[in-house]
Structure 1
Amino acid sequence: MALLEVNNLEVRFGLRSGEVSALRDINFTLERGERLGIVGESGAGKSVLGFSILNLLSRPGYIAGGEILFEGRNLAAMSARELRSIRGNRISMIFQDPMMTLNPVLTIGQQMVECLRAHRKISQQDAKRIALQKLKQVYIPSPEKRFDQYPHELSGGMRQRIVIAIGLLMDPDIIIADEPTTALDVTIQAEIMDLMLELCERNNVALILITHDLGVVSQVTKQAMVMYAGRIIEQGPTREIINDAQHPYTQGLMNALPQMAIPGQRLNQIRGSMPPLQKIPAGCAFNPRCEYVMEVCRSQLPEFTSSGGCRVACHLVAKMKLEEAAAQRVEEAN
């Protein structure tokens, strides 16, 4: 049994103009200690997926179908009381902005101790000891001093380390990291990602890394999913996706990396932008932006096609695979 299994997940938002689907047909598994990257532009549905796993969606958003199985138990069907024993305990989430996560009127120590005592029946002294231990694990200098400080007294990188330490407090089985380095400079970003990788490997914690940066995904994760307009359009081993992207959208993301541009020339970019949920095109949602678009792309939703170790939802890839199979049969016949 997989640690986490998501089957046919659908998430909808009720608007005045009617309901829209934010996530459709989401399927994946996560094993203990596995590191999964979820990639895509803003509006692809990455963060909604992260929130859905912990059933943290606020109205008008709700889980309209499918199941999210954690050790065989469906999180989507749990009561609020049952979910409290999972959130922050067995599954932790690290958000984009640490200042939105940390309470500005409580010291770091008060927040960590409160979190521990909410989930475990331990004394104040034991809670402080565990909190200091976690601060040391994330290489916070002078943890005793930081324990008594307020969030505004710390730098952005330090605050993000504190948030990671809080995420590790309960020794979770899964950490969901939603753009954990967005607000940090490049040097600090690298330090934070190295830290998360080290902690996950040391503690055998599964990681779901949500990001728009394929470079980060290539360094940290073993499996990857590329999302577009609420659907998975390519998934498989990270190395295979990075080295031989199959879907035109994934190829566009790869070509948009700064290192792929010719020095002195403009950066490559995918034309157009992500469609709003109310105006997702028929057929393949990427078809208005795709340079390889065919007539079938405008009318039929593509099924997944196996290509190497990956699954790709693309009519062009399916056509190429059929042509390859036909050519091979002719060659074998001759």
Structure 2
Amino acid sequence: MEHLLDIKNLSVEFALRSGNVRAVRDVSLSLGKGERLGLVGESGAGKSVLGFSIINLISKPGFISGGEVIFQGDDISKYPYEKMRRIRGNRISMIFQDPMMTLNPVLTVGTQMKETLRAHMNISDKEATAICIDKLKKVYIPSPEKRLEQYPHEFSGGMRQRIVVAISLLTNPNLIIADEPTTALDVTIQAEIMDLLLELCETENMGLMLITHDLAVVSEVTQRIAVLYAGRVVEVGPTRRIIENPQHPYTQGLIKALPQSAHGNRLNQIPGMMPSLQDMPEGCPFCPRCEHRKDRCATQTPPLRPTEAGGFVACFMEGACNE
């Protein structure tokens, strides 16, 4: 599969008075054209920071401190601001968690959609309107001509998120980064939005990076999963293989914590908490919480190594992790 995106040894730091802290640590990932990749982990694992860093939306005091973001053959992490603007929202679009934070409440949906188009294309108002209507139809918004004249507060939460998806599609991007796109929605609407993203990826041949803490969601939508912990990738591989046979103790804990894994018993809980970025332990960051830890785990950081099933895992205890 031809690669659309290659992230190589990417690190992101935040400059604080007490010193720099690393939120993303030497992450390397790839995404093929039309492929769907899930980024999974607890809150604070670095998922959203990684997503924002791809399109260089890290606000100060944050900055990319190392590595490369190769998009369609070019390292866009080194692009100046104006050149990056031609990529951001055009060839790479992002869907954020809360549509009410994304949409301007005092502008109609049509005005906001046309502004996005004019930022990247030199087209007439008539052409822009036609594109807006077409994209609203693609996300199954009824009466799209009428909806263009309405304001965000006139839509339900699920409809607002569909509009955000439609805006992300306006320029026919090659890649969509979806950051917890269904967090604020009820379960039924979540399923509808996920089905919509899956359908659009298949029909439009777009790459999708889905950032979420919900393994159940990624198991239905993505083809590969990357599990993040404390800013590092600890496991990556085909979705079905990771769900059915996780190799890393952290991935195993996440899957055992799913309600459908309880079978009427108490939910499994991973002991302890993720370490603070300002107080990262030496060695494997998961070591203090791991029931399989050995002496070397406290002093050495395990590298990502290939597994027999075609994935990669950052763990020294291969035998202990094949439960």
Q: TM-score, structure 1 length as denominator?
A: 0.94
Amino acid in structure 2 at the alignment position of 1:288: P
> Is the CA contact 2:8–2:67 (under 8 Å) kept in the aligned structure 1?
yes
Report what 2:28 is aligned to. Answer: 27
Greater CA deviation, 301-310 or 178-187?
301-310
Q: CA offsets, 1:283-331, max 9 Å, x none?
A: 100011111111111110012222221110001127889xxxxxxxxxx
Shift, 1:76, TM fit: 0.8
Report what 2:312 is aligned to. Answer: 311
> Is the CA contact 1:2–1:31 (under 8 Å) kept in the aligned structure 2?
yes
> Is the CA contact 2:249–2:321 (under 8 Å) kept in the aligned structure 1?
no
Which segments of 5 or more consecutive residues in structure 2 lack a partner in the other structure?
none
Q: CA offsets, 1:30-85, max 9 Å, x none?
A: 11101100000000000000000000001110000011011111111001110111
Q: 1:64 to 1:186 in 2, by over 3 A?
A: same
In 2, distance between residues paired with 1:143 and 1:43? 38
Report what 1:157 is aligned to. Answer: 158
> Is the CA contact 1:36–1:207 (under 8 Å) kept in the aligned structure 2?
yes
Structure 1 counterpart SS, 2:59: coil
Shift, 1:266, TM fit: 2.4
> Is the CA contact 1:90–1:172 (under 8 Å) kept in the aligned structure 2?
yes
Report what 1:329 is aligned to. Answer: none
Q: CA offsets, 1:206-242, max 9 Å, x none?
A: 0000001111111111111000000000001111111
> Is the CA contact 1:305–1:317 (under 8 Å) kept in the aligned structure 2?
no
Percent of matched pairs sharing the same residue? 63
In 2, distance between residues paired with 1:137 and 1:291? 48
Structure 1 residue 62 and structure 2 residue 73: aligned? no
Report what 2:39 is aligned to. Answer: 38
Report what 2:291 is aligned to. Answer: 291
Q: CA offsets, 1:123-177, max 9 Å, x none?
A: 0111011101100100011212211111111110000000000000000000000
In 2, distance between residues paired with 1:216 and 1:260? 15
In 2, distance between residues paired with 1:276 and 1:162? 36
Bigger Cα Rg:
1
Report what 1:184 is aligned to. Answer: 185
Structure 1 residue 269 and structure 2 residue 269: aligned? yes
Amino acid in structure 2 at the alignment position of 1:40: G
What is the CA RMSD across the aligned residues, in angstroms? 1.2
In 1, distance between residues paired with 2:274 and 2:170? 37
In 2, distance between residues paired with 1:30 and 1:87? 17
Amino acid in structure 1 at the alignment position of 2:217: V
Report what 2:104 is aligned to. Answer: 103
> Is the CA contact 2:24–2:50 (under 8 Å) kept in the aligned structure 1?
yes
Structure 1 counterpart SS, 2:3: coil
Give matches, 1:103-252, under 5 Å. 103-252=104-253
In 2, distance between residues paired with 1:85 and 1:252? 41
Amino acid in structure 2 at the alignment position of 1:286: F
In 2, distance between residues paired with 1:313 and 1:45? 16
Runs of 4+ with deviation above 2 angstroms? 318-321
> Is the CA contact 1:305–1:318 (under 8 Å) kept in the aligned structure 2?
no
Amino acid in structure 1 at the alignment position of 2:298: R
Shift, 1:258, TM fit: 0.4
Shift, 1:28, TM fit: 1.2
> Is the CA contact 1:2–1:71 (under 8 Å) kept in the aligned structure 2?
yes
> Is the CA contact 2:225–2:239 (under 8 Å) kept in the aligned structure 1?
yes
Q: CA offsets, 1:79-115, max 9 Å, x none?
A: 1110111011000000001111101110000000111
Q: Which has the higher helix share?
A: 1
Count of residue correspondences: 320
Report what 1:301 is aligned to. Answer: 301
Q: 1:318 to 1:277 in 2, by over 3 A?
A: farther
Structure 2 counterpart SS, 1:122: coil
Report what 1:49 is aligned to. Answer: 50
In 1, distance between residues paired with 2:156 and 2:310? 42
Q: 1:259 to 1:30 in 2, by over 3 A?
A: same
Structure 1 counterpart SS, 2:253: helix
> Is the CA contact 1:94–1:175 (under 8 Å) kept in the aligned structure 2?
yes
> Is the CA contact 2:36–2:223 (under 8 Å) kept in the aligned structure 1?
yes
Amino acid in structure 2 at the alignment position of 1:100: M
In 2, distance between residues paired with 1:276 and 1:187? 35
Amino acid in structure 1 at the alignment position of 2:120: H
Q: TM-score, structure 2 length as denominator?
A: 0.97
> Is the CA contact 2:9–2:25 (under 8 Å) kept in the aligned structure 1?
yes
Amino acid in structure 1 at the alignment position of 2:12: V
